[in-house]
Chains A and B, each alone.
Chain A
Amino acid sequence: SQELEQSPQSLIVQEGKNLTINCTSSKTLYGLYWYKQKYGEGLIFLMMLQKGGEEKSHEKITAKLDEKKQQSSLHITASQPSHAGIYLCGADNDYKLSFGAGTTVTVRA
C-alpha cells in the first residue's frame, strides 16, 4: 500500500507569516489530494494534483507536485486564523485514498 509521510507533524505560525507543509510518498503519486479538517468535523477538499510539476492555487493556498511525482507541498501565504486546522494529504491508491497522518496548524494572533 502507499505510505504518505507528512511533515511537520504540527506547527505554530504567527498571523501574517507563511507556512509550508510537505507530503512525501513511498511510491509514485498518480493523484494527490489536499484536505483540511477542523477537529471533530469533516474534511474540506482543497486541491487535487495529478501531473508532475503541477501547481495549483486557491486564494492564499498553493499546492505543488514535484516532477518525480513523489512529493507535494502545500504553501499558505500570509496566514490567517481561518487557516488553522489539520491538513491532510491523500494519495490515489487503486481508486481509494490513503491519507497521511496530518499536520496541525495553529495560527497565533
Chain B
Amino acid sequence: GAVVSQHPSRVICKSGTSVKIECRSLDFQATTMFWYRQFPKQSLMLMATSNEGSKATYEQGVEKDKFLINHASLTLSTLTVTSAHPEDSSFYICSAGMNLAGSTDTQYFGPGTRLTVL
C-alpha cells in the first residue's frame, strides 16, 4: 500500500515552454500533497503544500505564478512550471500524506521527475 506515482519521470523542454507534472496516490486518498525540489547532492526543499479543493500554500521564496499547483481530487495533484528557464532544471518530487498515527500524516513519496530546460 501507499504507492505514489509521478509522471513524467523525465522531461526535456525548451526555454519558455510550460511543463506539467502529475502526482497520483494510487491506493489511498490524500487530502494533502506536497511538492519538493531537490538539487544535486542536497536535501529536499519544500515548495508548497497542496490541499484538495483549496489553494496551495507556498513556502517563502517560491513564486506561485511560476509554479502552479492544482489539487483537483483526493488522488491527483499537478505542478505546472510555467515559462520554464534553465534555472528551473531540477529534480521535483511529490509526496502524499496518509495518517498512520497521531495528528500528522506520514508522507509517501513519488519517484520524482527530472526536468531539464534547454
Contacts and interface: CB of A to CB of B under 8 A. Distances in A.
Chain A interface size, under 10 / 10 to 19 / 20 to 34 / 35 or more = 20 to 34
Nearest to A47: B106
Contact of A48 (B6, B42, B95, B100): B100
A88 B108 CA distance: 14
Given A45-B2, A96-B46, A33 B114 contact: no
Nearest to A39: B41
B106 A102 contact: no
B67 interface: no
B43 A42 contact: no
Contacts of B43: 88, 99-102
A50 interface: yes
Contacts of B105: 95
A41 B112 contact: yes
B111 A97 contact: no
A97 B42 CA distance: 15
A33 B97 CA distance: 13
**By DSSP majority rule, is chain B's interface helix, strand, loop, or mixed?**
strand
Given A33-B106, A40-B91, A41-B112, A97 B100 contact: no
A31 interface: yes
Interface of A: 30-31, 33, 35, 40-45, 48, 50, 88, 90, 92, 95-102
29 contacts: A30-B104, A35-B109, A40-B91, A41-B111, A42-B6, A42-B93, A42-B109, A42-B110, A42-B111, A42-B112, A43-B95, A43-B109, A44-B109, A45-B108, A45-B109, A50-B101, A88-B43, A90-B107, A95-B32, A95-B49, A96-B34, A96-B46, A96-B49, A97-B34, A97-B46, A100-B43, A101-B42, A101-B43, A102-B43
